[in-house]
Amino acid sequence: MSDEPIAVPRQEMAVDIACVGFGPAMGGFLTTLSRALAEAPAESAAMPGMPLQVLCYERADDLAAGVSGVVTRAQAIRASFPEIAGSEVPMLTPVRQEKVLYLLDPIGASRRSAMLRIGDAAIRPLSSHYAFELPYTPEFLNKHGGLVMSIGQFNQWVANELMTAGVAQLWPSSPVSEALFDGNAVVGVRLAEQGVDRQGNPEGAYMPGMDVRAQLTVIGDGPVGAVGQSIDRKLGMPAGHARKEWAVGMKMVVELPEDTPLEAGTVWHTFGFPEPEIFGFLYVHPERLASVGIFVPSWMPNPGRSAYRYLQHFMQHPYLWRYLQGSTMRSWGAKSLQESGMTGEPFLAGDGYARIGEGSGSTNMLTGSGVDEAWATGVMLGESAVELLRAGKPFTRENLEATYLRRRRASSVEREGQVAKHARNGFHSGLVSGLIGMALAGYSNGKLSLGAKIPPAHRQIESLESYYSRRLRPDQFARARAEAASGRRTLHDALMDACGWPAIDFDGKLLVSHQDALLMGGKVQAAPGFADHVVFRDGSLCERCAERTCIAMCSGQAISEGDDHRPAFDREKCVHCGACLWNCAHSADGLNSNIEFRAGAGGLHSAEN
């Protein structure tokens, strides 16, 4: 049989509403739409005589995969599902106790300023197990009355409800590559090409990505989604808006020891360790399961930032380790968070399209909350779509602004987002000023905040020499680089070792190699026949790059050292966290980093995240 590609025409299909990405926002949208259409069905314009054709395409191989666990106030979710706390959603429980912990550094490897060290010394006598419990949880941060959930399990439960209602079709394993335009109007989406090689060249079983034309395209593909990116490229961002602040959240779901004293509903927020910039969490689910993880932000200048290595040190902090020792990893995963909030808000609606969820700038970085806000944005669009359908009005920019945008601007998502808008500015000058900035914004309802000139994410990464000149002697630095050059260690591991971070003593259960976490916890898989979705724009920039931040920060070790000092990408290890998009210190155009993150199939298969 010949492997020569044969000419295959691109298929086209017309539907009424095309949705991209099945997360909490899309759950809120489709739940609202389904309920309304179940009561009073609408006729399809795309297929006259048929009910309204609503399709949702999701990249991940299952509707429960590729997402994360969470503690949330769940106000919007509860408005949709008043009985959810007593429902059959596994791993869901009400928040019962909550505390904020400042973690001291028991190792001495953490990069702490002189001021912080003085503060640490003062706090030390008041601490227990190298942690200082804040006397109360600030009002703007607390999740009292909220829920601890697994978004994987919640998504699956919502999907089951939706499929039973039968109004919307949910198609997993279906990456969408871009929006289709007619002028500035979005007229649908194009699915990813199949049967192509790594570079995207057609192979024997080539199938061009189908064009799905729709009157309304709903974009909920998250902060690094390809369709959202394609709209931003075409239409730009509102004046003064940009996505400059990011974090990667990495976590494990662990089974705690049988005699654990931790109650379901326990919620801990941490800061201060393993690096001052890294925030952490521990949420206890029912049946001795717990989510434990960290957020590594873009404003941490360390070019050797390795979320996985830091996560292992975090779990071994004495305050946590006394509960985690003897635990077993059940699941592991990571995702990028869009931490710009409202300053990263794109155009929310235009002719033929609307944006919901995290990619629409709904995440609130003062309250540390995004899931409930995302759900709320979906509900608002659902109500707006129903309103327009009932009135027989088209999904034009004007009509969507009069309905969806009006609801958004009048919502608590907007109100609280405005309070949080500049709350994190201080972190660009350090932890202490960051905390002061948060407190100012939080306690003044956003009236006060610290000013900051925030550079693009790629410029927040310091050069290797500059960063480590303050941590290591020249000979230590040179030795670490030589060790990395020999191939025995990765550069970030060699540098962390040199900074005094101890080797991880693998126990095979909780402390496992990065590769084992990928296989045992993430259960990562990628179907063949799709192009590489991580692309290095200018290889010569990579050749000259000393920082190698993309390799350090790659959650799945999918990016490694390749030939000619260029990074190599292995699609089969990618968890689609999108961290590479903003963890590159170089830019050819001064705006975007040297890494492109496109639509791709596969990723995490864990349903417990």
Partner 1 sequence: MANYFHIVVCASVVPDPLQTLEPVTGAVPTLKNEMMLPAVLDPWAASALYEAANLAAKHAGSKLWLVSLAPKAKLQQVMMTVAQKVPFELVAIDGPIGGFTDAHATAAALAEAISAIPGLEREHLLLFGGWESASRASGVTLQVLGEKLGIHDQFQGVDQITVADDGSFEILERIEGGRHQLSVCAGGPAVLGWATGNLPEPRNNPQVGMANMRGIMPALQKAKAVKLDANGLSYLSASLPKQQRQTRVVKDVPEEEIAREIAAWIAE
Asked if residue 260 lies in contact with residue 329, where contact means CB atoms within 8 angstroms, the answer is no
Asked if residue 100 lies in contact with residue 133, where contact means CB atoms within 8 angstroms, the answer is yes
CB of 157 to partner 1, least distance (A): 7
Q: Which of 26, 36, 54, 63 binds partner 1 (CB under 8 A)?
A: 63
The residues facing 55 across adjacent strands are 18, 169
The answer to whether 487 contacts partner 1 (rule: CB under 8 A) is yes
Instruction: Give the residue with the Cβ less far from partner 1, 194 or 425.
Output: 194
The helix-helix angle for 412-420 and 371-391 (nearest 10°) equals 140
Strand order from edge to edge, sheet including 211-213: 12-14, 211-213, 185-191, 176-182
Stretch 187-216 residues interacting with partner 1 (CB under 8 A): 191, 194-195, 205, 207, 210, 212
Q: Which two tokens stand for residue 454?
A: 């925030």
Asked if residue 510 lies in contact with residue 327, where contact means CB atoms within 8 angstroms, the answer is yes
Q: Which residues have CB under 8 Å from 72's CB, separation 6+?
A: 143, 146, 147, 149, 369, 371, 372
Q: Which residues have CB under 8 Å from 150's CB, separation 6+?
A: 69, 90, 91, 92, 253, 285, 291, 608, 609
Q: Which residues have CB under 8 Å from 229's CB, separation 6+?
A: 597
The answer to whether 76 contacts partner 1 (rule: CB under 8 A) is no
Q: With CB under 8 A as the contact rule, which of the stretches 30-38, 178-186, 586-594, 600-608 interacts with partner 1? A: 600-608
Per-residue contact string for residues 153-192; x = within reach of partner 1 by CB under 8 A: x--xx-xx--xx-x--xxxxxx----------------x-
Stretch 523-552 residues interacting with partner 1 (CB under 8 A): 523, 525, 527, 529
Instruction: Give the residue with the Cβ less far from partner 1, 444 or 515.
Output: 515
CB of 483 to partner 1, least distance (A): 14
Instruction: Give the residue with the Cβ less far from partner 1, 93 or 298.
Output: 93
Per-residue contact string for residues 281-300; x = within reach of partner 1 by CB under 8 A: --------------------
Per-residue contact string for residues 112-151; x = within reach of partner 1 by CB under 8 A: ----------------------------------------
Count residues binding partner 1 (CB under 8 A): 45
Instruction: Give the residue with the Cβ less far from partner 1, 192 or 365.
Output: 192
Instruction: Give the residue with the Cβ less far from partner 1, 388 or 494.
Output: 494
Asked if residue 335 lies in contact with residue 577, where contact means CB atoms within 8 angstroms, the answer is yes
Instruction: Give the residue with the Cβ less far from partner 1, 18 or 400.
Output: 18
Q: Which of 216, 337, 520, 580 binds partner 1 (CB under 8 A)?
A: 520
Tokens 């599902």, residue located:
81
Q: Which of 34, 215, 266, 331 binds partner 1 (CB under 8 A)?
A: 331
In the three-class reduction of DSSP (H, G, I as helix; E, B as strand; rest coil), residue 140 is classed as: coil
Q: Which of 345, 416, 493, 608 binds partner 1 (CB under 8 A)?
A: 608
Stretch 21-40 residues interacting with partner 1 (CB under 8 A): none
Q: Which of 128, 184, 515, 540 binds partner 1 (CB under 8 A)?
A: 515
N- to C-terminal Cα separation, the chain: 43
Query: What's phi and psi for 298, nearest 5 deg?
Result: -65, -25
Q: Which two tokens stand for residue 257?
A: 């020891």
DSSP string spanning 173-197?
A: S--EEEEEEETTEEEEEEEPPEEE-
CB of 588 to partner 1, least distance (A): 29
Q: Which two tokens stand for residue 580?
A: 């590479």
Instruction: Give the residue with the Cβ less far from partner 1, 171 or 181.
Output: 171
The answer to whether 64 contacts partner 1 (rule: CB under 8 A) is yes
Q: Is the peptide bond before 208 cis (omega within 30 degrees of 0)?
A: no
CA distance 89 to 82: 13
Q: Which of 402, 513, 546, 570 binds partner 1 (CB under 8 A)?
A: 513
Q: With CB under 8 A as the contact rule, which of the stretches 99-107, 436-444, 475-483, 599-607 interacts with partner 1? A: 599-607
Asked if residue 461 lies in contact with residue 549, where contact means CB atoms within 8 angstroms, the answer is yes
| CA diameter of the chain | 76
Instruction: Give the residue with the Cβ less far from partner 1, 61 or 372.
Output: 61
Instruction: Give the residue with the Cβ less far from partner 1, 156 or 367.
Output: 156
CB of 511 to partner 1, least distance (A): 13
Instruction: Give the residue with the Cβ less far from partner 1, 165 or 242.
Output: 165
For residue 528, how far is the Cα from the chain centroid?
Answer: 25
Positions touching partner 1 (CB under 8 A) are 11, 13, 61-65, 90, 153, 156-157, 159-160, 163-164, 166, 169-174, 191, 194-195, 205, 207, 210, 212, 330-331, 487, 513, 515-516, 519-520, 523, 525, 527, 529, 605-608
